[in-house]
Amino acid sequence: MPAAAPIGIHDLSFATTQYALTHATLAAHNGARVAKYHQGIGQYAMSVPAADEDVVTMAADAAAPVVARHGADRIRTVVFATESSVDQSKAAGVYVHSLLGLPSAARVVELKQACYSGTAALQFAAGLVHRDPAQQVLVIAADVSRYELGSAGEATQGAAAVAMLIGADPALVRIEEPSGVFTADIMDFWRPNYLTTALVDGRESISAYLQAVEGTWKDYTERGGRTLDEFSAFCYHQPFTKMAHKAHRHLLQHCGRTVDEAEVTRAVGLTTAYNAEIGNSYTASLYVGLAALLDHADDLSGRAVGFLSYGSGSVAEFFAGTVVPGYRARLRTAANRTAIGRRTEIGYDRYRHLHERSFPCDGGDHPTPNETTGPYRLVGLADHKRLYATR
Ligand code: HMG
């Protein structure tokens, strides 16, 4: 029997919001030392959605260039991973399917498990492609992270969407077997249906994350995965970028290594460039980290990258990917920098207004102000229905 074709990430594009709040502005408002944000948690700015932006508009913005480059003929499945969805029943991906004019011969579904579900979507997609190598799956991970104003979590907010085309013979990253997986029932971070902001036990969430690093690595090695030294870089879920450093330090210690800070920075440093400016984009964060690595590293052709996906509650997965020779010609470095650079910096009062904004639940007509300069906008809510349009 001929060997099965490798499966993985054929294309990757991300989008973020119209506005940004800097941590210098946040610190000036709440009296924190800005060094706590810049050095302590490794964050410089957070993306803030305009009144007419949400996970759907960001997702369509991220996915449109992927569809433009490859066409939609082979896309039979759209998997939308999010924990900040806009409806309890309808998958957010159905709106994206419509905005992008994808074929009606497609299935669309939404997945949830905190920040982990982007990776669940990727693995489900790989399974579908394994069954039918002619098909491509559009995986979207999109989130807006919101904590209560004045809370410790506020400084770790952010928003972004990543779109990945998963297929056979990928141009960017081949996803390898095995995966190491881990689940533990922990209340470290959660959002009940009646709240619009997340609840979190900050310290508990960091130790739950580190416990998951150990758990996934144990399962990964027991299943015959690569050794630590075989990896050229590690992409970690980044609720704040210093968490990637903490996680890698922990993995080295767990493996009995002496921790050398230069080695930690070498392993994770390039993955944090975009998330330091975007903030926590939950499901998208790990793959925004991958985009930053591919855009900034010297040639990684043929090299192995480790991926650690963590979702509070908690579920985690460690897996490896091999970077495909020739990948650099397929990167979207200029567009990625533009997505971050085009944001308008806003002051604290404007941010506060946007943070506290919500639609009334009266079934009336509630148009949104025309704010985004992105390609798609949330036009408003009418008769309890969200209306989207191309701008
Ligand atoms: P905090 O109490 O504001 O900050 O909470 P802190 O006092 O712990 O300080 C943070 C760091 O800044 C510390 O460094 C300080 O030493 C340092 P560390 O000891 O950790 O290395 N620091 C300074 N450094 C330089 N100059 C200074 C200075 N002052 C302090 N002047 C916390 C921080 C992250 C807990 C908070 O922001 C939070 O609760 N965030 C939300 C939860 C979170 O992000 N958890 C991460 C793991 S859980 C996860 O990743 C899942 C998640 O993405 C959700 C999902 O899965 O859906 C959140």
Domains of the chain: 7-390 (3.40.47.10)
State the DSSP string of 271-297.
GGTTHHHH---GGGHHHHHHHHHHHHS
Secondary structure (3-state) at 166: strand
From 183, 247, 178, select the one nearest 213 (Cα to Cα): 247
What's the CA-to-centroid distance between 158 and ligand 1, angstroms?
A: 14
Please tell me the distance from the alpha carbon of residue 35 to that of residue 43, in angstroms, as a whole number.
10
CB 280 near ligand 1, within 6 Å: yes
List for the chain the helix, strand, coil content (%; round to 5).
40, 25, 35
Secondary structure (3-state) at 232: strand
CB 115 near ligand 1, within 6 Å: yes
Any idea which residue has 């489900």 for tokens?
A: 124
CB atoms within 10 A of CB 8: 25
Ligand 1, residues 55, 145, 205: which to mutate, most atoms within 8 A of Cβ? 205
Please tell me the distance from the alpha carbon of residue 23 to that of residue 155, in angstroms, as a whole number.
7
Peptide bond into 314 cis (omega under 30): yes
Give the pLDDT of the chain (391 residues) as one tens digit per residue.
556 899 999 999 999 999 999 999 999 999 999 999 999 999 999 999 999 999 999 999 999 999 999 999 999 999 999 999 999 999 999 999 999 999 999 999 999 999 999 999 999 999 999 999 999 999 999 999 999 999 999 999 999 999 999 999 999 999 999 999 999 999 999 999 999 999 999 999 999 999 999 999 999 999 999 999 999 999 999 999 999 999 999 999 999 999 999 999 999 999 999 999 999 999 999 999 999 999 999 999 999 999 999 999 999 999 999 999 999 999 999 999 999 999 999 999 999 999 999 999 999 999 999 999 999 999 999 999 999 999 9
What's the CA-to-centroid distance between 181 and ligand 1, angstroms?
A: 25
ipTM for the predicted complex: 0.99
State the DSSP string of 68-114.
HHH-STTEEEEEEE-SS-S-SSS-HHHHHHHHTT--SS-EEEEE-BT
Residues annotated in a binding site for (3S)-3-hydroxy-3-methylglutaryl-CoA: 147, 246, 280
* Residues in a beta bridge with 119: none
